[in-house]
Chain A
Amino acid sequence: MSEIYDLLIVGGGPAGLSAGVYGSRSRLKTAILQKGKPGGQAATTSDLENYPGFSRGTTGPELMGHMAKHAESFGTEILSEIVVDMELDGDIKKLKGKSGKEYQAKAVILAPGAQPRSLNIKGEHAFRGKGVSYCATCDADFFEELDIVVVGNGDAAIEEAMYLTKFAETVTIIVIHDEGILDCNKASAEIAFANPKIKWVWNSVLHEIKGDGLVESVIIKNIKTGELSEMQTNGVFFFVGTVPNTEILKGKVELTEHGYIITNDLMETSVPGVYAAGDARVKYLRQVITAASDGAIAAVAAEKYLAEEEGFKERVLNAKEPLMVVFWAPQSEESIAGVSTLEKIVGTKEGKVKLVKIDTYRNQRVAKRYDINVIPSVLFFQNGKLLDKIYGVFNENDIIEKIATVFTES
């Protein structure tokens, strides 16, 4: 059996690395499983100028390099591994790697990120690496003094198009909207409009990519007139949004119909002990800073989960003596009264019966596990086994009677 981590993080982009920083700094035994070098999509971004504290001139690889070192400095292990399957139910989560190795952890943070969306245009797939690209920093070099086309008009498309003008002779951006309308931020739009190397084709979409071995031309379709026109070009860069890398999570955690992981504010997924962070999650803004924020929240929530689980195990499941677990909440007068009734009874038992109080406002997970829908409720344990329960309001005699009948030595 392989060693058991406290926390395994799937994905080494900003979400995973930030979770690594917070996890290992809280002394959790933490590892990140990451395909190759960490950094995620941010590591393929040339200029990254909106991460607070890192101003103009910062590059994606640079910032991600800092984050990876930061996580490692607190003890996070970064392992090169592609996760191909996982078993997330149960106390110990099992992750299977492409290398054949199996990893185990008490809590898991899913930060698999997203990848560029493909439009499945005719020729798009066949010419990948032959002129069709989704990564400006990877391939810009090839297009020095050549003409290229960019598809898309969001932040990524316009910013990467500007980077490409440092290499290419012309960059033609194909925009689906009316002239002058872009989805990107205003600052980038203004700079792009002023760039003499950028040409614009409005009201249009890419229809087909043609060539012989390498890209030679594209067919552009005007969506207003339906007219098709052919344009000579050497390359086509797509920046038309992303899709989450959640294929292997189908049926394991709850996803939206588009494949994004559903979480609450604590980054909890539908599976206890499994959290999600970053671009693969349902969220409003997908940026390095929000990914890092998700990672921090997920790691802190996971740490709390581990502490609660360990605590419950130690105080209740591993205890030999008879004990009662009472579920209460500070907002419920009835439950507070219930707790004092129990405390009074336990006081008369001279330590033979113990009492464990669980605040359901702070710890809903244990309550859910025992189907506690009403407070106060009391569970009766001995030798770690659940023997009986009382749901709802009780009086002193109910408890005294139960103790006498349920417990063998009280």
Chain B
Amino acid sequence: MIELTKENFEQEVLKAEGLVMVDFWSEKCEPCKALMPSVHDLAENNAGKAKFCSLNTAGNKRLAISQKVLGLPTIAFYKNGEKIAELTKDFAIEDVEAKLNELA
């Protein structure tokens, strides 16, 4: 998975072609960390369907807020630079997988 920062977000997500999945997380968010291993597995098993990225919101708070993300965990899908779907708070890895398959 590609680690996003305020420096590369525009290039990797907003200017990217095709489907991009962004996992917004932070060190203090236990549900995010609980989800993380299965998100990484999902990315590995679905390589090619989308570009998989993660953004640690600590230190990138303004960037997250600019993406209208003000709560964790959040997983957002972008297509050709535009946010087309988002899962926030109560969701399971199975929901992420279903959303990915729907959009890919």
Chain A residues within CB distance 8 Å of chain B: 35-37, 39, 43-44, 60-61, 80, 82, 98-99, 128-135, 137-142, 144, 213-215, 234-235
In the complex, chain A residues whose CB is within 8 Å of the CB of B38? 36, 80
A142 touches B33 (CB 8 A): no
Q: How many Å lie between the Cα of A138 and that of B65 in the bound state?
A: 15
B26 touches A141 (CB 8 A): yes
In the complex, chain B residues whose CB is within 8 Å of the CB of A213? 68
> Which among A129, A138, A142, A214 is the interface contact of B61 at CB below 8 angstroms?
A142
> Which among A35, A37, A132, A138 is the interface contact of B92 at CB below 8 angstroms?
A35
Q: Which of B34, B70, B92, B94 has the most CB of A within 10 A?
A: B70
> Which among B35, B57, B74 is the interface contact of A141 at CB below 8 angstroms?
B57
Q: Give residues 26-69 of B contacting A (CB, 8 Å).
A: 26, 28-35, 37-38, 57-58, 61, 64-65, 68-69
Q: How many Å lie between the Cα of A141 and that of B71 in the bound state?
A: 9
> Which chain B residue shows the least CB distance to A40?
B30
CB distance from A102 to the nearest CB of B (A): 16
In the complex, chain B residues whose CB is within 8 Å of the CB of A214? 65, 68, 70
A130 touches B71 (CB 8 A): yes
B89 at interface, CB cutoff 8 A: yes
Apart from A44-B31, A142-B70, list 15 A-B contacts with CB within 8 A: A39-B30, A43-B30, A60-B30, A80-B38, A129-B71, A129-B72, A138-B71, A138-B73, A139-B29, A139-B72, A141-B26, A141-B61, A142-B71, A214-B68, A214-B70
Taking A37-B33, A137-B28, A141-B58 as contacts, is the C-beta distance between A129 and B92 under 8 angstroms?
A: no
In the complex, chain B residues whose CB is within 8 Å of the CB of A142? 57, 61, 64-65, 70-71
A130 touches B30 (CB 8 A): no
**Could you show 16 A-B contacts with beta carbons less than 8 Å apart?**
A35-B92, A36-B31, A36-B34, A36-B38, A39-B30, A43-B30, A44-B30, A130-B68, A130-B88, A134-B89, A137-B28, A137-B29, A138-B30, A139-B70, A142-B61, A144-B61
Chain A-chain B contacts (Cβ-Cβ < 8 Å), number: 81
CB distance from B39 to the nearest CB of A (A): 10
B71 touches A98 (CB 8 A): no
A129 touches B94 (CB 8 A): no
B61 touches A131 (CB 8 A): no
Bin chain B's interface residue count. Answer: 20 to 34
In the complex, chain A residues whose CB is within 8 Å of the CB of B58? 141
A137 touches B69 (CB 8 A): no
Taking A213-B68, A214-B68 as contacts, is the C-beta distance between A129 and B74 under 8 angstroms?
A: yes
Taking A142-B65, A213-B68 as contacts, is the C-beta distance between A129 and B28 under 8 angstroms?
A: no
Q: How many Å lie between the Cα of A93 and that of B57 in the bound state?
A: 43
> Which among A35, A60, A82, A128 is the interface contact of B71 at CB below 8 angstroms?
A128
In the complex, chain A residues whose CB is within 8 Å of the CB of B64? 142
Encoded as 1 (CB less than 8 Å from any A CB) or 0, chain B from 4 to 35 comes to: 00000000000000000000001011111111
CB distance from A140 to the nearest CB of B (A): 7
In the complex, chain A residues whose CB is within 8 Å of the CB of B72? 129, 135, 138-139
Encoded as 1 (CB less than 8 Å from any A CB) or 0, chain B from 67 to 104 comes to: 01111111000000000001011001010000000000
In the complex, chain B residues whose CB is within 8 Å of the CB of A80? 37-38
A215 touches B34 (CB 8 A): no
B92 touches A128 (CB 8 A): no
Q: How many Å lie between the Cα of A44 and that of B32 in the bound state?
A: 11
Q: How many Å lie between the Cα of A98 and that of B29 in the bound state?
A: 23
In the complex, chain B residues whose CB is within 8 Å of the CB of A128? 71, 88-89
Q: How many Å lie between the Cα of A61 and that of B30 in the bound state?
A: 8
A37 touches B70 (CB 8 A): no
In the complex, chain B residues whose CB is within 8 Å of the CB of A60? 30
In the complex, chain A residues whose CB is within 8 Å of the CB of B94? 82, 98-99
> Which chain A residue shows the least CB distance to B73?
A138
B65 touches A36 (CB 8 A): no
CB distance from B23 to the nearest CB of A (A): 13
Taking A141-B61, A142-B71, A213-B68 as contacts, is the C-beta distance between A129 and B88 under 8 angstroms?
A: yes
In the complex, chain B residues whose CB is within 8 Å of the CB of A39? 30
In the complex, chain A residues whose CB is within 8 Å of the CB of B70? 129-131, 139, 142, 214-215, 234-235
Q: How many Å lie between the Cα of A138 and that of B25 in the bound state?
A: 9
In the complex, chain A residues whose CB is within 8 Å of the CB of B57? 141-142
Closest 8 CB pairs of A and B: A36-B34, A129-B88, A129-B71, A37-B34, A138-B29, A43-B30, A138-B72, A213-B68
